[in-house]
Structure 1
Amino acid sequence: MSYQVTDTVTDATANSPSLSSSTALSIQRPPVDPSHLVKHHPHAGNQIIPSDLRPTVLAKHQISDWEMPWSLHQKATSPFSPTLQALKDKLLSKSTVDDTKENYSAGLACFIQFCDKHGVDEELRMPADLTLVAAFLLEHMGSISGSTACSWLSGLKAWHDTKGAPWCGEHRYIQMGKRAMNKEGAHRKRNPRSLITIRHLIVLRKALNFRIPFHITIWAVAVITFWACHRLGETTVPSEAKFNPKFHVTFGIKFRYFSQENGAKAISFHIPWTKTTHRNGADVTITGLLDDPEGICGLSAFANHLRVNKDVLDSFSLFGYMGDDGKPHHMVKDNFLSVCFEIWTRAEICNVLGHSFRIGGAVHLLSLGIALEYVAALGG
């Protein structure tokens, strides 16, 4: 379906779930930022029917850039200038980090596909009616987990919130639907993650080549993420292009050094963002092992990483490394896991995921008799 959003939209009252076709409103919508546009075709299963309402933009921009007749009507009838409206939209876009926007886009895209499939008029898609949302959930019942259904609904809510549209998600019908999705999608629930263990670290260390800066940094990330009980997303970056010092710790961070009476040493540094504390960040503490026959001390691994990769710029990510091309590179999460999983697959112990480092470190420290409160504080 093609909908000419740059020319006209039909008139309606602000609270109406659909727009009357009786009156046409002229609207001048600013063009989509060219940097938002996708330069490749969507993956199979992600396609939607082409529409002027929904330009082909990156997933993280879909919530802000995808419009509906209702949202365009609100803009056209607003007493405020396009400049002020654009400032409002920019503020709202800053309320959610890119990774969350990308997760939300999955639910939004599936909802649009559902509406396209059943021929739902554009005017009826926002504000989404209880019947439409309930039918959307039911069509996917049993094929997705309850948590996925909740994530999809969160994406639809974020879309409605961004456009200022009423959202029906708190209605008892939708809450009942979420319970049904949890029950019928139980078999889709991911199995509990297995743990990274000391054996995993030992196998990894033996397989790495410590003459290669990349491998030295892989080792540092592995043991530090394990012993510090932190998330892998806090010691790696999603991709080279997605490094952002607002969210990722840099090489120029200041360290705090500690020494205990028994000779144990530790280093602490602050990371700017975590999944739970957001911009408050958290402290990562790397402790040394007094007895380390297996060579799995996080402090030693970190010191070696800093020494070998000393030419990495202070503005670069903390776990950046010097590549064969003589240039610094970020430690990308997928690249890190690819090396680890290849090694552990050969050893037949690759039944783990990225989050297994945090879980394994916490369980190991608790098994050593470390106080629960200390482990909780260590992991933030």
Structure 2
Amino acid sequence: MTYGGLNQVLNEHRAVDKRRRASSSVAGAPMPTGQHTPTPFFPPSIQGATDDLPSHVAICEERYITASNRIFRWAPSPGPASSLSTSSGFNFDPSGLMSGSVTEVLEFSLEESTCVSYSTAIIKYCAFCDSAGIPIQDRCPPSSGLLLAFVSSFVAKIRADTAKKYLGAVATWHRLWGHDWVIFPQVTYALRGLKHFQPPANDLRPPILAAHLHAVKAHLDIDSDPLHAAVWACSLFSWWAVCRLAETTSPSTPSFTPSRNATRASVQAHRQVLGGKEIVRVDLPWTKTTKEKGQQKHVVKVGGTLCPVEAFDNHLRLSPVPVSELSTTALFAFRSSSMPGSTLVLPLSKTKFLTTFNAALVRSGQEAFQGHSFRIGDATMYWHTGTDIKSIKLIGGWKGNSVLKYLREYARGLLPAHERAAAAIAEAAPS
């Protein structure tokens, strides 16, 4: 079999994925060692390949290559799988047992969302090499000329920062497979030059503000629908506590893991009361910036329509679980309305959350939002009400000044500062 191009390989992968889904197969089998590794290039011959099932597809069937694991399952160059050896070339792992452990450890070196993002860059690099007629043996490691041409192919198509991210993803791909990656000065200069040809930046994402939340609530049945109650509680908790949705929802229902996602046990049993206000504390096990250290999040019983504590208590009322299951139940897990009388609760996935929230928002006559609009809205809301930047960073868990990118409507945000300054000046003015 000859290399039929990247599209052929991707189509084969999609066919495999379709068959897998149809048969409800379990994904994520570890990559066997001691065999040829799959690549986006020449499909190596392996046992089990037939005319009806090309060898590359047979590999995919065995190892289930998806966007989230492509960087670990596709080698940058064809050939046998690399073995563990000393600097002199002595192979001290002929059985491949240690290689299996190494592969498993490496596959946990990147976040799943990062792997999916990097997969896009890998495909773009392979597609470019295909279109330029670059021989397979000359693609890894890439020369300065190849990378210069790759970067320059994005002129007037994407932003320079995006091209830089693509290049970084391809570099990580090569390094993960043990290949050297040279940082060529000319390529660095080309990335700078690309800024002069880049298209205009996309419009800033709009914030979710109080008016949007009021509009959504009017189209949710939070008193009797467990899903709606969970979505409402999650939206208010995320909004007031300035959370990323990845911290309060799960990527997908089957992928909920207590070590990464908040559970009912994450809620502090004893509620603190300060200044007559009841406070709910949730210990997040993991965040984007703190990793395994996690972070404490607090919401206050403020009363009114947008009270996060009242919404949270209502959610717990409609989707209760036994005490013995608190540590294995997602924080905003809900009882499925499709199974009346069932005590089974399902984790609230990010997709389910956004679909439900946006459906209510659209019914109110407004446009749908993306997930990050919540965090943007949270920071903007606090800023508009006079909260200083240092406090906003503390609430949201920002370590640097990236919080400034989340602020919208600068005039409103700066108004309290101007009013305080004007009052101080007026007070100090001579009578």
* 1:156 aligned onto 2:166: no
Q: Which runs of 5+ in 2 are unaligned?
A: 4-14, 20-38, 45-55, 398-431
Compared CA separation, residues 69 and 374, structure 1 to 2 (3 A) = closer
Compared CA separation, residues 317 and 263, structure 1 to 2 (3 A) = same
Q: Is the 8 A contact 1:160 1:166 kept in 2?
A: yes
Q: Is the 8 A contact 1:268 1:285 kept in 2?
A: yes
Compared CA separation, residues 115 and 228, structure 1 to 2 (3 A) = same
Partner of 1:310: 320
Q: Is the 8 A contact 2:219 2:364 kept in 1?
A: no
- Which has the higher Rg, Structure 1 or Structure 2? 2
Displacement after TM superposition at 1:203 (Å): 0.8
Higher RCO (Cα < 8 Å, 6 or more apart)? 1
1:1-380 → structure 2 map (5 Å cutoff)? 2=2, 38-40=16-18, 51-52=42-43, 56=60, 57-69=65-77, 72=80, 74-75=82-83, 79-81=91-93, 82-168=96-182, 170-187=183-200, 189-210=201-222, 211-255=224-268, 257-260=271-274, 262-289=275-302, 292-293=303-304, 295-311=305-321, 313-314=325-326, 315-324=328-337, 325=339, 326=342, 327-350=344-367, 352-380=369-397
Compared CA separation, residues 70 and 165, structure 1 to 2 (3 A) = farther
**What amino acid does structure 2 have at the position aligned with 1:60?**
S
Q: Which runs of 5+ in 1 are unaligned?
A: 4-36, 42-47
Displacement after TM superposition at 1:106 (Å): 0.8
**What amino acid does structure 2 have at the position aligned with 1:131?**
G
Match of 1:270, SS? strand
Q: Is the 8 A contact 1:68 1:122 kept in 2?
A: no
Match of 2:128, SS? helix
**What amino acid does structure 1 have at the position aligned with 2:68?**
K
Match of 1:140, SS? coil
TM-score by length of 2: 0.72
What count of residue pairs does the alignment treat as equivalent?
Answer: 336
Distance 1:145 1:347 in 2: 35
Quote the sequence identity (%): 25
Compared CA separation, residues 131 and 40, structure 1 to 2 (3 A) = farther
**What amino acid does structure 2 have at the position aligned with 1:298?**
P
TM-score by length of 1: 0.81
Distance 1:288 1:307 in 2: 17
